[in-house]
Amino acid sequence: MKKLMFLLSLLLSPQLMAVTCEWPQWSNFKSIYIENGRVIDGSDERLITTSEGQSYALFFALVANDQQTFDQVLKWTQANLAGGDLTARLPAWLWGKRLDGQFGILDTNPASDSDLWIAYALGEAGRLWNNYYYQSLGHLLAARILREESVDVAGVGTTLLPAPKGFDLGKGSYRLNPSYVPLQLIARMKDLYPQYSWASMYQSSTLILGQTLTAGFSPDWVTLNGKGFSEDKVTGPIGSYNAIRTYLWVGMLNEKNKEKEHLVKKMGPFATAIEQLGAPPREVDTETGKYSQPGSAGFSAAALPLLASMDYSNLLEAQVTRAQNQLVTSRNDHYYDNVLSLFGLGWYNERFRFGEYGELQPAWGKQCQ
Distances (CA, A) of 288 to 57, 79, 221, 275: 36, 46, 16, 18
Given 41, 66, 113, 337, the catalytic residue: 113
DSSP string, 3-39: HHHHHHHHHT-HHHHHHHT--HHHHHHHHHHEETTEE
The beta strands (E) that lie in the chain are given as 34-35, 38-39, 49-50, 94-97, 103-107, 150-153, 157-160, 168-170, 173-176, 222-225, 228-231, 238-239, 284-285, 352-354, 360-362
Q: Any catalytic annotation for residue 52?
A: yes
Given 52, 66, 149, 359, the catalytic residue: 52
Phi, psi (deg, nearest 5) at residue 44:
-105, 130
What would you report as the CA-atom Rg of the chain, rounded to the nearest whole angstrom?
A: 20
Q: Any catalytic annotation for residue 220?
A: no
Is the Cβ–Cβ distance between 151 and 166 less than 8 Å?
no
Q: Which amino acid is at 167?
A: F
CA distance 364 to 352: 9
- Exposure of 238 in the CB half-sphere (CA atoms within 13 A): 10
Q: Which residues are catalytic?
A: 52, 113
